């Protein structure tokens, strides 16, 4: 799961990571994809922008030092469907075995997300319920404050008889 990243709201894998798993050079993987471009629409595979790659780079394992070990071109990234499609163009036993493992990981991730989604929905319901209680409690406290604050002398009505001293 550590080789699956989130870009543009989609879970993706880098061409270099897939090439390493399939035991082929990244260059050869890209060549195969370009030869079969019609099998990879934008929702299966896309190329990162320089801004996306710059943001993603710290998450990627450190590149090896030395000549030719740094990426010269922006990488292709593959969604779950794109990874599945790779098995149709990389027709080796290794590719098929690796694809099965990757698809299982994507499926497990989706299950985990759905499980957590149910928890989030329950928390949101609870939060709304508590927000309603907060409003009710605020009203109760406002009414109680009216009884605790003594009325001012000027607004208080006098009780008793008024003496008429001048007659």
pLDDT of amino acid 93: 80
Looking at mean pLDDT, say which of 15-24, 41-50, 84-93 comes out highest: 41-50
Average pLDDT value for residue range 115-132 = 77
Q: Taking the model in full, what pTM does it have?
A: 0.58
CB atoms inside a 10 Å sphere around CB 102? 22
Q: Where are the domains of the chain?
A: 5-117
pLDDT of amino acid 37: 92
Looking at mean pLDDT, say which of 78-82, 96-100, 103-107 comes out highest: 78-82
Residues in CB range of 65: below 8 A, 6 or more apart: none
SS (H, E, C) the chain: CCCCEEECCEEEEEHHHHHHHHCCCHHHHHHHHHHCHHHCCCCCEEECCHHHHHHHHHHCCCCCCCCCCCCCCCCEEECHHHHHHHHHHCCCHHHHHHHHHHHHHHHHHHHHHHHHHHHHHHHHHHHHHHHHHHHHHHHHHHHHHHHHCCCCCCCCCCCCCCCCCCC
Average pLDDT value for residue range 135-143 = 77
The closest alpha carbon to 19, from 102, 108, 81, 106, belongs to 102
Q: Count CA within 13 A, CB hemisphere, residue 91.
A: 3
Residue 69: pLDDT above 60?
Answer: no
Average pLDDT value for residue range 135-155 = 72
pLDDT of amino acid 152: 67
């Amino acid at each position: 799961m550590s080789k699956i990243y989130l870009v543009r709201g989609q879970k993706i894998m880098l061409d270099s990571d897939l090439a390493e798993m399939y035991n082929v050079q990244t260059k050869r993987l890209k060549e195969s994809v370009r030869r079969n471009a019609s099998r990879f629409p934008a929702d299966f595979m896309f190329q990162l922008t320089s801004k996306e790659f710059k943001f993603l780079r710290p998450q990627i394992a450190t590149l090896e030092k030395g000549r030719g070990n740094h990426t010269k071109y922006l990488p292709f990234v593959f969604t779950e469907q794109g990874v599945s499609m790779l098995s149709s163009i990389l027709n080796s036993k290794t590719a098929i075995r690796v694809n099965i493992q990757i698809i299982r990981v994507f499926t497990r991730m989706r299950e985990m997300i759905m499980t957590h989604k149910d928890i989030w929905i329950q928390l949101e319901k609870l939060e709304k319920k508590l927000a309603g209680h907060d409003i009710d409690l605020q009203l109760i406290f406002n009414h109680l404050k009216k009884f605790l604050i003594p009325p001012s002398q000027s607004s208080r009505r006098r009780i008793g008889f008024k003496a008429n001293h001048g007659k």
